[in-house]
Amino acid sequence: MQKIWGKRVLLPDGWAQDTEININQMGQIDSIVTDTSPSGLEFDTLLPAPMNLHSHCFQRAMTGLSETSTHQSNDFWSWREFMYKFLNAISPENFEAICAFAQMEMLEAGYGGLTEFHYVHNDLAGNRYNDRSEMSQRVINASCLSGIGLTLLPVLYEHGGISGSPLISGQDRFGLNFEEYYNLVDQLNSSTKNFSDVKVGVAAHSLRAVKAESLIELEKQFAGYPIHIHVAEQVKEVQEIEQNWGRTPIEWLIENTNLNHDWCLIHCTQMSDMEATELAKSGAVIALCPITEANLGDGIFNGKTWLEAGGRFGIGTDSNVSISLFGELKMLEYSQRLKQKSRLAMKTGIDLSIGRELFDWILEGGAMSSGRKCGLIKESYWADILALDLTSMHYSHLKDDEKLNYIIFSESRNVINSVFSAGRHVVNNGQHCRRKDIESAYKKALKQISKIL
Ligand SMILES: [Zn+2]
């Protein structure tokens, strides 16, 4: 039994003092004792470590490169062109090295688990690997190395555009037909059955990349799985769906699928207030990726309407252009303030600080949409725990909830001491336990990629 102790610990019913957490061999929380003297590893502040709800790990290695362009005007679609070109330089070995590096940075940023939206299935020429799970296995291998808890979402991607156009260069690494996809999920379920905290979910890339009947079949065949999809990210995407399918993407999903809490809709940055109100009734969660959405010029989510309608959300690092848990929360709240011309824009109650409310939202949304038993420091939950050092003078006069405000809006130092993912103590003194090896493989991958690009 592993013991960790915190001077202050965020439990489901609020802050507790001098609290011991006992973690069993499996990595689950076995028992919690409050108001007790220090024992085991001692920390200042312990919080549940949130789930990163949406990511494409390989895009971590595009950072810097994708900010240069020969186009006159640049937008999401020109960024996407570069991403396709970039993929033509990524071997399975390099893909795995990049994934491990991104996952390591996620842990160092305070995330306890990752929901990876994984759509790179085929080889560099766009042909199927003999083992269809080759690239999925690379994500799993990386998670074994980084120690991050994983929900893997293999993604269905059938065609190049809304009209059913063929996959173009770059996209051909994504394509699988429904039968191949079904078999891939089946294979991944078998290969991960002995991994206690690797979970398999399902995903469709977007309405523009799959057939309507395939999406309906996906929901039917994999009932009860987490099911994710990119939705209403870009104006052009919404217009295309509306012109071809007679409904906006969100309207179409509401009318044609059984949206519920298993569904996670990613982005929704182009959603009307009316759609937000209707969508919230379904129980579906929205995955917001504020830093990437700003980087790609996606637009700003209508947070006020979503929260007023009772909607839930989590956050993801998406393109991994900057992997920062507290940075995502700052970007989210500030973009909402700019949109609404108000302060404390995502605040719904009067009891808690905005920092605490944002943190609670992402814990709940992340747990719901990943299918991972996390988000609470509670018996039988995975010990996904974030240990912070808040002993500097800046925190001395603040109440516990106010400390979260300071971390999100004002902290410039790294206050993350440790991160545990299912009890694995993967980050200690702010650094990942395998940083040297993971970094060295990543450097090698970058060198090889730069020769090809
Ligand atoms: Zn995405």
Lookup result for tokens 């990752």: 114
**Measured distance CA(174)–CA(449) in Å, rounded:** 19
Q: Where are the alpha helices (DSSP H) in 62-211?
A: 76-87, 92-108, 134-146, 178-191
Beta strands 263-267 and 285-288, pairing class? parallel
Q: What's the CA-to-centroid distance between 360 and ligand 1, angstroms?
A: 23
Q: What is the DSSP letter of 318?
A: B
CA of 77 to the centre of ligand 1 (A): 13
**What is the per-residue pLDDT for 256?**
98
> Per 3-state DSSP, what percentage of the chain is helix, strand, and coil (rounded to 5)?
40, 20, 40
Q: For residue 318, how far is its CA from the centre of ligand 1 (angstroms)?
A: 5
Give 56 Cα–ligand 1 centroid separation in angstroms. 6
Write down the pLDDT at residue 276: 97
Instruction: Return residues with CB closer than 5 A to ligand 1 (ion).
Output: 318
Q: How many CA atoms lie within 13 A of 102 on its CB side?
A: 31
User: Kindly report the CA angle at 204 between 445 and 361, in degrees rounded to 5?
Assistant: 85
Q: Give the domain 51-370 fold.
A: TIM Barrel (3.20.20)
DSSP conformation letters of 296-317: TT-----HHHHHHTT-EEEE--
**Is 267 one of the annotated active-site residues of the chain?**
yes
Span from the CA of 54 to the centroid of ligand 1 (angstroms): 6
pLDDT of res. 317: 98
Report pLDDT for 70. Answer: 83
pLDDT at 349: 86
Which of 216, 222, 218 lies closest to 257 in space, CA to CA?
216
Give residue 73's pLDDT: 83
CA of 320 to the centre of ligand 1 (A): 10
CATH 3.20.20.140 maps onto the chain at 51-370
Q: Can you tell me the ipTM of this complex?
A: 0.99
Set 159, 267, 425, 432: catalytic member = 267
Residue 378 CA to ligand 1 centre (angstroms): 31
pLDDT at 332: 98
- Burial class for 388, CB neighbours closer than 10 Å (0-12, 13-18, 19+): buried
CATH number of 2-48+377-436: 2.30.40.10
Whether residue 318 lies in the annotated active site: yes
> What is the per-residue pLDDT for 17?
98
pLDDT mean values, one per 10 residues, the chain (453 residues):
97 98 98 97 98 98 88 85 91 98 98 98 96 98 98 97 87 96 98 95 97 97 98 93 95 98 97 97 98 95 96 98 98 97 92 95 98 98 98 97 98 95 98 98 96 86
CA of 216 from ligand 1 middle (Å) equals 21
**117 CA → ligand 1 middle, Å:** 7
Distance (Å, rounded) from C-alpha 416 to C-alpha 396? 17
Residue 62 phi, psi dihedral angles, 5° rounding? -85, -10
198-200 and 202-204 as β-strands: parallel, antiparallel, unpaired?
unpaired
Burial of residue 283, with CB atoms counted within 10 A of its CB: 0-12 exposed, 13-18 middle, 19 or more buried: middle
For residue 36, report the distance from its CA to the centre of ligand 1, in Å.
44
Inter-residue contact 247 to 280 (CB < 8 Å) = no
Residues of the chain with CATH 2.30.40.10: 2-48+377-436
Query: How do beta strands 385-388 and 312-315 pair?
Result: unpaired
Distance 80 CA to ligand 1 centre (A): 11
Among 172, 298, 318, 401, which one carries the catalytic annotation?
318
Amino acid identity of 191?
S
417 CA from centroid of ligand 1 (Å): 29
